[in-house]
Amino acid sequence: MKIKIQGKHIDFPEPVTAREAAEKIHLTAPDQAVAVSINGELKDLSTPLNNEDDVQFWNFDDPLGKEVFWHTSAHVLAQAILRLWPAAQPTIGPPIENGFYYDFGNLTISDEDFEKIEKEVEAILTENFKTKRIEFPSKETAKQTFLHNPYKCELIDSFEGKISAYQQGEFVDLCRGPHMAALGKIKAFKILKTSGAYWKGDSNREMLTRIYAISFPDRKRLKDYLLILEEAKKRDHKLLGAALDLYSFKEEAPGMPFIHPRGLIIWNRLLDFLRECLGQAGYVEIKTPTMMSKALWERSGHWFHYKENMYTCCIEDREFAIKPMNCPGCMLYYKSTTHSYRELPLRIAEIGHVHRFEASGALNGLFRVRSFHQDDAHLFMRPDQIRDEIGNILRLADKIYMTFGLPYRLELSTRPEKSKTIGTDEEWENATSGLKNALDDWGHSYRINEGDGAFYGPKIDIHLRDAIGRHWQCGTVQLDMSLPQKFELEYVDSDGSHKRPIMLHRALFGSLERLFGILVEHFTGKFPFWLSPYQVRIMTVADRHIPYAEELAQKIRAKHLICDVDDTSESVGKKVRNAQLLKYNYMLTIGDKEVENKTAALRTRDNVVHGEIDISDFLVKVEKERATRDLLSPYSTAP
């Protein structure tokens, strides 16, 4: 039989399962072949293969591989808990961005129990159980298996279609799967924390015990991950934001940050940079209302599919909603005039203030908020322009991310199951090939996520990597065949006929608030000079040096640079320490010699003392540093 594996045809003399095929091509390492897709569908490795099957094995480094690895690991955690606390009631245990969690009823534990749980997990992994899929013939049969667990029975009642479970040793858990074939690939396991969580996220339901954990196919990865967690604590944007007086969070406005004067300096610099990039790339900018009528949201579909996340109100017997996204407003703008094919592509940007209801337990500093600003853009074009416009977006994204020193990776998500999408086969083919051809032209490597696109079109996601190797999904490019249809958007073609434009959604910052938080952690609060809210501090040795210090400060401020004077009675050493805590880029000390020579003694943020400098030369260098948005100081000692 002939099987297509990872794009290559391989002959097998006899029928094989996916796991046997992986072993025959030597994908046997713990991080290899942890999951498999057969003809585009995620399956168990025990699945028999048929002639001409198209097989893709997923390793731990692939998102699908991690998902299956961590989902299987969640079952190991539940098995360990039941061995130690037999009366506990497992509920759900999904994989998340970093690891997984499992919620339990009738369980109370503390941090002191973590070591005991990990030892039991280790014992289970040593037994290296094979996983077995069980399919129940009916809901009643499934409920008999979980008769003493009301949470599982409630889930079973809500299910439609086939109901399945997975067994490993004595442990059986309700699960749609797939799972890894055996538990032995899990080589490192760590409990991270525990917290409370309401059943189904409903504050009116029972409080459960949630256990967060993570696992890896080798111990080195776990060690590296724990080091990253320690480094992340030092970079926590919530703590740094308070220490640098950038922003704050108040009980009076949960999930809606207050930006302070120093934080607003960064905010405005980011917007200035963004608008400069948009102008150079041929965008126009609009502003649409924050609140619009229910009729608009019904037309866009949000009222039916997203209402629970929207803030609504009634005014003069009409229902309105505060916008959770900018798209429908831009559709109305497009329809406000007739468009010719000569205008296309039309690039329309909006830095819109949107509001979305997020559960209070999900809020997380600037990373997860209820009120935020999206740097949206909607690009309207002819089908033959898709490839070039995607290329233009990728070049714009590269310019923006490289300015911050943020490398990135690209992922292309293709059409989900046909029955769950809109648009014709031809439209999907044209749209997907347009995105793929643009990515090929761009020349960077990218990953294809088969079937992970939106119902209205394929998309490209951009994942940033920060200074300690964490990935953040910020940028996205989505091709939308739904909204132009719902809003009956048209342009007049060269032959006078009316045609529907192709539309791209595009966000590169994503959320301005979230990017702000990412940058705080990426730079550890030590912002490059152009972005810094603490650029220059002048420190006096004695009171007699204050007049010259103020004169110098005025000279620096005249260049539109941020400068202040520390003329307190503290020692110079204490003044330096205070400036370092606020992460000033440059510290200028003024003493008798500097007053006499009309100079200053320079110390940089990396604690290097450069000694006496000429002020005019200093200003030339830092003005250039600001103008070019350099990441490194001209006084840097870094190679």
Q: Which of 152, 210, 378, 575 is catalytic?
A: 378
Backbone torsions φ then ψ of 112, nearest 5 degrees: -65, -20
Higher-confidence position of 149 and 13: 149
Assess whether pLDDT exceeds 90 at residue 224.
Answer: yes
Amino acid at 438: A
Residues in the chain: 639
Task: Please say if the pLDDT value at position 639 is more than 60.
Answer: no
Which domains, and CATH codes, for the chain?
A: 2-59 (3.10.20.30), 64-233 (3.30.980.10), 270-288+323-519 (3.30.930.10), 536-628 (3.40.50.800)
Distance CA 564, CA 245 (A): 15
Q: Which of 168, 374, 478, 535 is catalytic?
A: 374
What is the percent of the chain where pLDDT is above 90? Answer: 78
Whether residue 542 has pLDDT greater than 90 = yes
pLDDT, position 302: 87
Q: Is 563 a catalytic residue?
A: no
Cβ(566)–Cβ(578) below 8 Å = yes
**Model pLDDT for residues 420-443, shown as the tens digit of each residue:** 777 778 878 888 888 888 888 888
Q: How much is the average pLDDT of 4-22?
A: 89
Average pLDDT, integer, range 457-483? 88
Catalytic residue among 505, 514, 575, 626: 505
pLDDT value of residue 454: 75
Work out the average pLDDT over 249-260. 95
Give the span between the Cα atoms of 344 and 318, in whole angstroms.
Answer: 36
Catalytic residue among 277, 327, 330, 563: 327
pLDDT at 618 over 60: yes
What's the confidence (pLDDT) of residue 553?
Answer: 97
State the average pLDDT over residues 231-236.
92
Q: How far apart are CA 12 and CA 407, in angstroms?
A: 41
HSE-up of residue 101 (Cα within 13 Å, Cβ side): 15
pLDDT tops 60 at residue 97: yes
pLDDT given at position 48: 93
pLDDT per position as a tens digit, 164-213: 999 999 999 999 999 999 999 999 999 999 999 999 888 889 999 999 99
- Which comes out higher in pLDDT, residue 319 or 434? 319
pLDDT range class, residue 311, cuts 50, 70, 90: very high
CA dihedral 496, 497, 501, 502 (to 10 degrees): -110
Does residue 505 carry a catalytic annotation? yes
Residue 351: its H or E element: strand 346-355
Task: Provide the mean pLDDT of the chain.
Answer: 93
Tokens of 113: 């129990």
Percent of residues, the chain, with pLDDT higher than 70: 100
Question: Given 143, 459, 470, 583, which residue is catalytic?
Answer: 459
Segment 361-400, tens digit of pLDDT: 788 999 999 999 999 999 999 988 988 999 999 999 999 9
Tell me what pLDDT residue 482 has: 82
Least confident of 115-124, 149-158, 274-283, 305-314: 305-314
Active site residue 116: no
- Give the pLDDT score at 638: 63
Instruction: Kindly tell me if the per-residue pLDDT of 274 is higher than 90.
Output: yes
Consecutive H or E run containing 432: helix 425-442
- Beta-sheet pairing, 95-96 with 35-38: unpaired
Residue 456 has pLDDT above 80, yes or no: no
Could you read off the pLDDT of 581-599 as tens digits, one per residue?
A: 999 999 999 999 999 999 9
* Alpha-carbon Rg for the chain in angstroms: 29
Catalytic residue from among 103, 376, 461, 466: 376
Q: What is the pLDDT of residue 304?
A: 85
Q: Burial of 486 by CB count in 10 Å (0-12 exposed, 13-18 middle, 19+ buried)?
A: middle
Q: Determine the Cα–Cα distance for residues 397 and 269; give it in Å rounded to an integer.
A: 17
Q: Do the strands 586-590 and 536-540 form a parallel or antiparallel pair, or are they unpaired?
A: parallel
pLDDT of 617? 96
DSSP secondary-structure letter at 482?
Answer: S
Residue 31 and residue 128: Cα distance in Å, rounded? 16
Active-site annotation holder among 302, 356, 415, 575: 356
Assess whether 374 carries a catalytic annotation. yes
pLDDT at 104 (0 to 100): 97
Mean pLDDT of the 598-626 span: 95
DSSP 172-199: EEE------SBGGG--EEEEEEEEEEEG
More confident residue, 427 or 345: 345
pLDDT tens-place string over residues 76-96: 999 999 999 999 999 999 999
- Would residue 356 show up in a list of annotated catalytic residues for this protein? yes
pTM for the full predicted model? 0.82
Mean pLDDT, range 107-128, rounded to an integer: 96
Q: How many beta carbons lie within 10 A of that of residue 216, not counting itself?
A: 25
Q: Give CA–CA dist 398/263, Å, rounded.
A: 25
Instruction: Cite the beta strand spans of 29-183 per DSSP E.
Output: 35-38, 41-43, 54-58, 89-90, 95-96, 99-105, 132-136, 163-168, 171-174
pLDDT-wise least confident of 183-187, 444-448, 540-544, 602-606: 444-448
